[in-house]
């Protein structure tokens, strides 16, 4: 295992955790508006992940299912980060 692969793997793990936090905070927002720190944490996670998700969203448009919109870009980025993380740790 190389040091570069390990560092890249840890960076991808940190990004994955931010993606999971974004997911949870978006679900919490759907349930109800929370206190100020929830809005601040949500803004922080969106700031950290949107530069990666936005270009993918231009290619994979959200799918409408009645009143619900499913963001395929988030799912695609999540899966790609999981795959890249596995590859990086195996370098």
Q: What is the pTM of this model?
A: 0.84
Q: How many CA atoms lie within 13 A of 40 on its CB side?
A: 3
CA distances for 3 relative to 6, 9, 88, angstroms: 5, 10, 10
Taking residues 26-35, report their average pLDDT.
69
What is the pLDDT confidence band of residue 10, given thresholds at 50, 70 and 90? very high
Residues in Cβ contact with 28 at an 8 Å cutoff, skipping those fewer than 6 apart: 34, 38
What is the pLDDT confidence band of residue 21, given thresholds at 50, 70 and 90? very high
What is the pLDDT confidence band of residue 46, given thresholds at 50, 70 and 90? very high
């Amino acid at each position: 295992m190389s040091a570069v692969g390990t560092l890249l793997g840890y960076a991808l793990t940190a990004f994955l955790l931010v993606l999971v936090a974004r997911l949870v905070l978006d679900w919490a927002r759907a349930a109800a508006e929370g206190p100020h720190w929830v809005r601040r944490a949500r803004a922080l996670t969106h700031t950290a992940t949107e530069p990666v998700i936005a270009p993918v969203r231009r290619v994979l448009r959200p799918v409408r299912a009645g009143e619900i919109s499913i963001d395929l870009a988030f799912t695609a980025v999540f899966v790609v980060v999981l795959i890249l993380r596995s590859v990086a740790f195996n370098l």
